[in-house]
Each structure stands twice: as C-alpha cells, then as structure tokens.
Copies of this chain bind each other. A is one copy, B any other.
Amino acid sequence: MNIGQAAQASGVSTKMIRYYESIGLVPPAGRRDSGYRDFGPADLHRLGFIRRARDLGFSVERIRLLLELWSDTHRSNTEVKAIALTHIQELEERARQLQEMADNLRTLAQACDGDGRPDCPIIQGLEAGGEPACHSVHPARH
C-alpha cells in the first residue's frame, strides 16, 4: 500500500505520516525497490491509533507514551488511566482559560452600544484596563 492510500485509510496526511516516521513515532515503513514506502495492516492500525489519540488532543509525546503502553502486554491500566486523567485536566484548564477570556471580553462588549459613535468602552477597557489583569504569575489558585 502506497503512502497516499495509507493516508486515506488512516486519516493521517502523507506529510504527517512521513513526519511521524522521522521522529520515531512509527517505525520506518518498508520500502519497495522503487524507494516507495509500503504500508501493511499493522502500520495502518498504528496510524489509526495515533489519529484517534490526536483527535482527543494528545500531544505527540503523550502519544509516544500511550503507544509504548499499547505494545506492552504486561502494562497496568493504572498508568494509562493516569495519563488520561492528567490530559483531561489539562484540556479542561485550557478550555476554562479560553472561556474566561471570552467572559471578560463579553463584559466589556456589553458596555459598548455599537451605535456608530466614537465612544467605545471596549477600547477604553484595553487602554486603561484597571489592574494588570493578573496574568503571568501563579496560575495555581485552585
């Protein structure tokens, strides 16, 4: 199977398949005499695993861990679950931060009539935004 067909079957682009090979996330594909890569069912299986993990937002490095656990028949599901729970927390933290930005901006936007006059509370909020909007330092606080 050529790389294009493997891409279509797995849902991973040809660019990404080559990239994953280059960083060792998948083993080097077999080659035909022509130099073309040749993919078999096991390769597709692995690529599908990777794509589903990416669809769930896992980073490449986390996927590398998951792949190791996948191929380890003596793995403990405790480790897998720990990775998953950590990832869930990170996803929710990022979602929460984005939503917080949206909420803050909406507060500003609600004060703006948008009626065509030059007067604009949104601009004013950015201009002199009260406090330094507690950003960089300690994101802990829960």
**Chain A interfacial positions (CB closer than 8 Å to B):** 11, 45, 48-49, 51-53, 55-57, 66, 69-70, 73-78, 80-82, 84-85, 87-88, 91-92, 94-96, 98-99, 101-102, 104-106, 108-109, 112-120, 122-123, 125-129, 132-133, 135-136, 139
Contacts and interface: CB of A to CB of B under 8 A. Distances in A.
Given A56-B105, A105-B84, A123-B66, A77 B136 contact: no
Copies per complex of this chain: 2
A126 B136 CA distance: 35
Contacts of A70: 123, 126-127
B132 A11 contact: yes
Contacts of A52: 125-126, 129, 133
Main secondary structure of the interface of A (DSSP, over half): helix
A135 B11 contact: yes
B98 A102 contact: no
Given A95-B102, A99-B95, A129-B52, A77 B45 contact: no
B53 A126 contact: yes
Contact of A77 (B77, B81, B91, B112): B112
A77 B129 contact: no
Given A45-B127, A94-B98, 20 more contacts: A48-B128, A55-B133, A56-B105, A57-B105, A69-B123, A74-B118, A76-B116, A76-B118, A77-B117, A77-B122, A80-B120, A81-B112, A84-B105, A87-B105, A88-B105, A88-B106, A91-B102, A95-B95, A95-B99, A98-B98
